Structure 1
Amino acid sequence: MGKRLIDSTLAVYGAAWKAALPLLKLNRRLRDGWDQRTLSGGLPAPAHLWIQAASGGEAYLAWEVLKALKSPFKETLRVLVTTNTLQGFETLTRAAAEINGEKRGIAVQPWYFPFDAPDIMDSMVRHVSPQAALILETEIWPGFLKACKQHGVRVLLANGRMTTKSLGGYMTWPALFRDLGPERIMAVSETDGRRFGTLFGRERVWVMPNIKFDRMVEAGPMARKNNPLKNLIPAKSSFVVFGSVRKQENIQVRKLAAALVRYKPETTIGLFPRHMHHVPIWEKAMNAGGLTWTLRSNMTGPAQPGTVIIWDTFGELVPAYGLAKAAFVGGSLVPLGGQNFLEPLTCGVKPVIGPHWKNFAWVGNEIFDSGLALKGDDTEHVLNLLINILEDAPRRTEITQKAKAYIRDRKGGAKAVCKQVADFLNKV
């Protein structure tokens, strides 16, 4: 794709951003960090390395990278970490506090990822002047990539995942993305690698262990006495977590919850929406199913049997798994690709998912073959699997030990990424 055509395409892209900005300011979620997103409140400090982590999940991956990162210089390695969401920013702020307080040779500054308008990104990259940029998962922003290329910033995309649908979208302008694309891509599976290779060229693509395994290798069950939710969930309660459920599967989840309470009236269900702003959708779904429900934020004492707790507070999914006897992980009852079902395992709970899990194919089929996780063919099958676990729950310590062994054999992603980052920085 010729330079003139790229420039004209990005000019149209920039005009679209300018037209959209007044409307974006009306978006409640984008108001957080507005001054940083638009650079209207100033600019961050210059940095050697810029790490972009789209939201909360990627921010935790960035945290793992920061823990494994070492400065290749005699001077302090300055790192700018950015994200698109409030949850991601809060996570990166905690990560920066930990790294800046405990680790010598690295200084971390969290910031909101600027809007991708080419003029905004050009100002940001020119001022920050990073030697290298690390994109986690799949953050392919034309304005950002163009500014990096223009200012000589080497770009590494790591822990890369790409769906067939995403590839189809990028392939509408393959020459543009190939011209602006990252210098190197580290994908989490051969399948993802082939998709990245189709877009960017196979010579740029490597395969790496998923950093999510690194994050979980040290995890383990929390003692009940230390669990912040212990006063809400009685010790002998048949507590079942529905983790990271998606609005598109609300009918299936509603039926699953109603049937589970009908078969096991002593059951209490903790329903964790994948997106907090969809809580009203889940309230309506529970009403439609004739279920008794309450919001987590309204609870002051123990949950009553037969109640669905709609979790409307952040950061409590893992402690909830620590008190659960069984867990269903959402995004899997309809074709959405699934959500992370390793988290309950590290808490000693055998997860049950539906038939759709392609986004987590990197975990490996061995996890089902070994019985560490269970996969249902449909809603009724998932229900039966949950009931079987409630009636004969495996020992939490046994599940944890097997899960740790499975995860330990697959760790190393953060160190692999840091090695490539050092290579990028040393070659500037």
Structure 2
Amino acid sequence: MRFLYTLAMYLVTPLIVLRLALRGFRSRPYYWRWAERFGFFNAPLNLRDSLWVHAVSVGEVNAAEPLIKALKRDYPGAPLVVTTVTPTGTARVRQLFGDSVFHIYLPYDLPYAVNRFLAGVRPRLALIVETEIWPNLYFACRRRGIPLMIVNARLSERSLRGYRPRPLRGMVRAALSCVDLVAAQSQTDAERYRLIGAPPERVMVCGNLKSDMPVPQDAPAAGERLREHWGAGRPVWIAASTHEGEEQAVLEAHLEVLKHLPDALLLIAPRHPERFRPVEHAVRSLGFAFGSYGADGMPSPSHQVFVIDAMGQLMPFYAAAGVAFVGGSLVPIGGHNALEPASLGTPVLVGPHTFNSEEITASLIDDGGALRVPGSGALGETVLRLLCDEGRRRDMGRAARRVFERERGAVGRLMALIAAQLRK
């Protein structure tokens, strides 16, 4: 079966490259460093016995941040390698860690590319973040005797269905037999990994690394400065990590809010840089008075909408906002990190699609720190209701913060498992 999979990978590679080229029309960084995607790169001489962390994109890099910092602290002499798949993930690695880690794109799952990559990186341990099952990569790690762990492992119901068709079932099971440990986010994720073939004795629950993300100490003060700049007491909400299909709904919701709160301000932060210009165009076409982070730096009292067209700048804005809608949830993306606003005591709103973090979202909702809107039509009404009820926002913010604090500790549990693995 793996032969057929590999043959299929070779056949579809030209289409994958074409897709990359087409994406490059919208985001120029997709044109950069193509050779790395086939395993060609200049490896530093000191990479022997490296610790390798793979995080697909921005969300996984953010989740891995506390883990990578713990690895740097506990293994200061070990070279750290971080791989990503997307340019936005690459930019986030650079923003967080600079040159203190060696970054490279993960190659396509082709045997020659994978072997060239592993020969250059020479890892002592491989840590795959969340949900990345690449058969040729996993088998190559086993052949080379490289311990392999899936950390912060999650598996949505949709992904579970995708891995279970009969033609794939045996190959997925064989690939997972190469994994030394699956450290799952939740009991549900652990059970799903067992269902697709992970050896039960190698699966355990460690919690969600996102709950251990560092909360910037200056975020509350920065949020206060923002509020003073745009006008203390002004009703403000943020729509963060939005996708195509959500921004228009968010802007229409803000029109509804403005009918009742004419001084309200919407902060909108698209998930991907290629969305910055289309969002600004949509804002302009609806006639809003607006500014942007890149052009203005801070929202002014005259702005009705402010576009955060920069990566990694959300926390001060979360701290300043009265309500936070977390995107990727009105459309079937699966939702993004609701623990970020929760960590700052900001009430959270999510849409119906939160399968990327089912248990955390359920905890926030059940404990009163978050509300779920059934669809885009209900967003404006829900935001308006919360902006008009300071007591409700205060109670929700406290509840959200309690959930965040309760979930902490995943990094410590995971680091103990990593230490045990490295002692073998």
TM-score of the pair, normalised by structure 1: 0.84
Distance 1:40 1:238, change over 3 A: same
1:56 to partner: Cα distance:
1.8
1:234 and 1:302 in contact (8 A); partners too: no
Q: Does residue 325 of structure 1 match 2:322?
A: yes
Letter in 1 for 2:173: R
CA displacement, residues 14-71 of structure 1 (integer Å, 9 cap, x when unaligned): 3533675476456333223334334444234333321101112222332211233379
More deviation in 389-398 or 346-355? 389-398
- CA drift of 1:10 comes to 1.5
Match of 1:213 in 2: 211
Q: Is the 8 A contact 1:221 1:346 kept in 2?
A: no
Query: Which aligned pairs between 1:394-405 and structure 2 lie closer than 5 A?
Result: 394=391, 402-405=399-402
* Partner residue of 1:114 out of 107, 123, 134: 107
Structure 2 equivalent of residue 314 of structure 1: 311
Give 3-state SS (helix, strand or coil) of 2:246's partner: helix
Instruction: Name the structure with the higher helix share.
Output: 2
Q: What is the distance in 1 between the residues matched to 2:331 and 2:314?
A: 22
> Aligned to 2:3, which of 7, 11, 18?
7
Which moved further from structure 2: 199-208 or 13-22? 13-22
Gaps of 5+ in 1: 101-107
Distance 2:234 2:361 in 1: 32
Partner of 1:201: 198
Identity %: 28
Q: Distance in 2 between matches of 1:236 and 1:202?
A: 55
Structure 1 vs Structure 2 CA RMSD: 3.2
Deviation at 1:240, TM superposition (A): 1.6
What's the CA shift for 1:404? 4.1
Equivalent residue, structure 2, for 1:279: 276
Q: Which moved more, 1:393-402 or 1:285-294?
A: 393-402
- C-alpha distance in 1 between matches for 2:386 and 2:205: 36
Q: For the residues of structure 2 that align with 1:184 and 1:392, how far apart are their CA atoms?
A: 47
84-93 vs 122-131, greater mean Cα deviation:
84-93
- Change in Cα spacing, 1:301 to 1:53, as seen in structure 2 (3 Å) is closer
**How much has 1:126 moved relative to structure 2?**
2.5
3-state DSSP class of the match of 1:365?
helix
Is the 2:37–2:106 contact (alpha carbons within 8 Å) kept by the matching residues of 1?
yes
> Could you tell me which residue of structure 1 aligns to residue 78 of structure 2?
77
Amino acid at match of 2:58: G
Closer/same/farther in 2, CA of residues 407 and 23 from structure 1, 3 Å limit: closer
Summarize the Cα distance change of 1:354–1:411 in structure 2 as closer, same or farther, 3 Å threshold: same
Over 3 Å counting, the alpha-carbon distance change for 1:216 and 1:396 in structure 2 is farther
Shift, 1:302, TM fit: 4.5
Match of 2:371 in 1: 374
Cα distance, 1:345–1:300 mapped onto 2, change above 3 Å: closer
Structure 2 unaligned spans of 5+: none
Query: Deviation digits for residues 293-340 of structure 1, max 9, x if unmatched?
Result: 444323267534462222222222111112222222222334433222
Q: Could you say which residue in structure 2 is the equivalent of 1:169? A: 162
Hey, what does 1:105 align to over in structure 2? none
Structure-1 residue corresponding to 2:34: 34
Q: Which moved more, 1:38-47 or 1:418-427?
A: 38-47
In the TM superposition, residue 11 of structure 1 has moved relative to its aligned partner by 3.7
C-alpha distance in 1, partners of 2:152/2:349?
25
Shift of 1:91: 3.3
Could you state the TM-score of these two structures normalised by the residue count of structure 2?
0.85
Match of 1:104 in 2: none
